[in-house]
Amino acid sequence: MFVQAVVLAALLAGATPAAPAPAPSAVAGAPATVTLWPHGAPGVGRRSSEPEIVENTYVRNVHSPSLTVFPADPRHANGAAVIVVPGGGHRMLVFVNEGSGPAKALNRYGVTAFVLKYRLAREAGSTYAIDRDAAADLRRAVRWVRANAARYGVDPRRIGVMGFSAGGELVSLVADNPAPQEPPSGDPLDAISARPDFQVLVYPGPLGVPAQAAAGAPPAFIAAGSCWSIPARWASPPRPPPAPRRPSSPPAPWTRAAPNRP
């Protein structure tokens, strides 16, 4: 269902799809990876050169935030783009089930997708903060996609973000709350808006709520998973038990009619 919600969001975010441009050869084959901070993310220091650790498709030890690009087929691309933000409790990234898998599903609907690898604030030994560093990675991702939209046949006014669980928290922090005031950096990307045009929250975490900039927030589409217990104030009133069924009467014994006699 979340894919249908994203497609609807992409259609609502812009009235007229942009004509898709031919995909660059760099992204026409296997997914390409783009480093968001070529000279190192703020506050990373020497750890920027440490390799990522992948265990059973889960990614951790991210010190060089990046985007993995999944371009839509130019034959049916609709001009919309979605940055997919995997969850993982800020300790790891569920990169396949909440990253590349949804990205490939979006491709089937003509949506170009970018999967974000962001810094993990709750990983053991981490010095990062969710609202400072991980959210900055997502803002940087939105700016980068918007600045490079023409390369991928994307309308810069139809760029959304979709976050799962902990990734949903980052979406809320970026889409529904004001960006922190930063001193001038001289980086041209910092002059580009980091506010997405629509947002999709898939069982998001609680950070970023309540929103501090709801008036200017983009449209939100929310999907939730099932759970075994919910707060009593959210529960539906109990239904009365069904009435007991009355036992049916036993069928009448079958008898053979006597033949008619003259």
Task: Please report, for the domain that includes residue 89, its CATH number.
Answer: 3.40.50.1820
Domain range holding 207? 2-11+33-180+189-225
Query: Does residue 98 sit within a domain?
Result: yes
Ordered strands of the 66-70 beta sheet:
32-35, 66-70, 112-117, 81-85, 159-164, 198-202, 220-223
Query: Does residue 37 sit within a domain?
Result: yes
Query: Does residue 51 sit within a domain?
Result: yes
Q: Please tell me the predicted confidence (pLDDT) of residue 240.
A: 74
The pTM score is 0.78
Angstrom distance (rounded) from CA 174 to CA 189 = 16
- The closest of 92, 102, 212 to 163, measured between CA atoms, is 102
Residue in this structure with the two tokens 């490079």, named with its chain if needed? 148
Angle at 111 between CA 85 and CA 194, to 5 degrees: 50
Query: Does residue 193 sit within a domain?
Result: yes
Query: Does residue 238 sit within a domain?
Result: no
3-state secondary structure 73-126: CCCCCCCCEEEEECCCCCCCEECHHHHHHHHHHHHHCCCEEEEEECCCCCCCCC
| H or E element in which residue 21 lies | none
Cα torsion at 189, 116, 59, 172 (round to 10°)? 100
How confident is the prediction along the chain (262 residues), in pLDDT tens digits per residue? 555 555 555 544 553 443 333 343 344 456 899 999 998 999 898 888 899 999 999 999 999 999 999 999 999 999 999 999 999 999 999 999 999 999 999 999 999 999 999 999 999 999 999 999 999 999 999 999 999 999 999 999 999 999 999 999 999 999 999 888 877 778 899 999 999 999 999 999 998 888 888 888 999 999 886 655 656 665 666 667 777 776 666 655 655 555 555 5
Q: Please tell me the predicted confidence (pLDDT) of residue 255.
A: 54
Query: Does residue 161 sit within a domain?
Result: yes
- Please state whether beta strands 198-202 and 159-164 pair in parallel, antiparallel, or not at all (unpaired): parallel
Q: Please tell me the predicted confidence (pLDDT) of residue 36.
A: 96
Q: Please tell me the predicted confidence (pLDDT) of residue 215.
A: 84
Count of structural domains, the chain: 1
Q: Please tell me the predicted confidence (pLDDT) of residue 97.
A: 96
Query: Does residue 165 sit within a domain?
Result: yes
- Burial string for 74-88 (b: 16+ CB within 10 Å, else e) reads eeebbbbbbbbbbbb
Query: Does residue 125 sit within a domain?
Result: yes
Say if residues 172 and 218 touch (Cβ distance below 8 Å): no
Say if residues 212 and 178 touch (Cβ distance below 8 Å): yes
Q: Please tell me the predicted confidence (pLDDT) of residue 12.
A: 43
Angstrom distance (rounded) from CA 246 to CA 228 = 34
How is 191-205 classified by DSSP, letter by letter?
GS----SEEEEES--
